[in-house]
């Protein structure tokens, strides 16, 4: 098992901002929760909270995130972008794209994204992103983007119904979490700087989504719909063509490939 230590992460980290200030825990409740507290206390943009293990890892839609200690990358980044709150999904998009690029660069695996923020390897979930924001009025005050990535995780360590996979499972050998993290942070920083320059990432994001063009079942708080995932709009909402022909726009939900049970985590 490779050890996460600030010195090894900083050694060879080619970023100017992201991860230059590291708060590392052996075990913590949730890196997102800590990062939010630090952000409220004025922590600098780019601060990274990272842990070997979490006792209360958070997933989307109130779920928990499970990862045996030492197997994964579990980290949260603090951003203070000059963006309106309705554009916060842009941060999730750039982080998803950057993780995908890092996995491809480091391992050669053809990572994909699944709407809205899953990282997929060969059709199974290998990672997830949870973005939590604080705003004043229409503007973002700060955003915490939490990333959980199954790196060297034996898939039988998670319940089979999660249908999860990991990088080591797909590759057949372990990879350096530190090396992968360094490359991921570099890609996030490049994409963040483009975002700050006004380049909206939705086109790249849509191209990376394995979801588009598939018949899917969409689970939302308002109900379950089936149809063809046709496109995403500028804010990241999914446009679903229902069998009735109606186009449904959904901002928050879960996609389940038709014929499969809903994935939990």
Cβ closest to ligand BTN, residue 55 vs residue 193: 55
CB of 57 to ligand BTN, least distance (A): 4
Least gap, CB of 72 to ligand BTN (angstroms): 8
- Binding stretches for ligand BTN (CB under 6 A): 30-32, 54, 57-60, 63, 65, 74-76, 118, 128-130, 146-148, 265
Residue with CB nearest ligand BTN? 128
Minimum separation from the CB atom of position 139 to ligand BTN (A): 24
Looking at the Cβ atoms of 74 and 133, the one nearer to ligand BTN is: 74
Of 119, 99, 106, 74, the closest CA to residue 190 belongs to: 99
* Comparison of 195 and 255: residue with beta carbon closer to ligand BTN: 255
> Between 100 and 265, whose beta carbon lies closer to ligand BTN?
265
Q: Whole-number minimum distance, CB 138 to ligand BTN, in Å?
A: 26
């Amino acid at each position: 098992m490779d050890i996460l230590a600030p010195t090894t992460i900083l050694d060879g980290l080619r970023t100017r901002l992201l991860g230059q200030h590291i708060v590392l825990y052996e075990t913590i409740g949730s890196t997102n929760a800590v990062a939010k507290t630090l952000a409220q206390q004025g922590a600098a943009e780019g601060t990274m909270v990272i842990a070997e293990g979490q006792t209360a890892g958070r997933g989307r839609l109130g779920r928990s995130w499970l990862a045996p200690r030492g197997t994964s990358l579990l980290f949260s980044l603090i951003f203070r972008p000059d963006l309106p709150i309705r554009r916060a999904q842009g941060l999730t998009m750039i982080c998803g794209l950057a993780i995908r690029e890092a996995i491809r660069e480091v391992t050669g695996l053809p990572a994909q994204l699944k709407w809205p923020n899953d990282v997929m390897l060969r059709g199974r979930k290998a990672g997830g992103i949870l973005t939590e924001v604080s705003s004043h009025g229409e503007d973002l005050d700060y955003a915490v983007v939490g990333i959980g990535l199954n790196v060297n995780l034996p898939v039988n360590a998670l319940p089979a119904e999660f249908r999860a996979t990991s990088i080591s499972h797909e590759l057949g050998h372990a990879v350096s979490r530190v090396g992968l993290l360094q490359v991921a942070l570099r890609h996030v920083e490049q994409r963040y700087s483009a975002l700050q320059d006004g380049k909206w990432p939705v086109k790249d994001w849509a191209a990376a989504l394995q979801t588009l063009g598939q018949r899917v079942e969409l689970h939302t708080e308002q109900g379950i719909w089936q149809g063809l995932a046709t496109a995403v709009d500028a804010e990241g909402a999914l446009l679903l063509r229902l069998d009735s022909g109606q186009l449904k726009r959904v901002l928050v939900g879960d996609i389940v490939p038709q014929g499969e049970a809903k994935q939990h985590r």
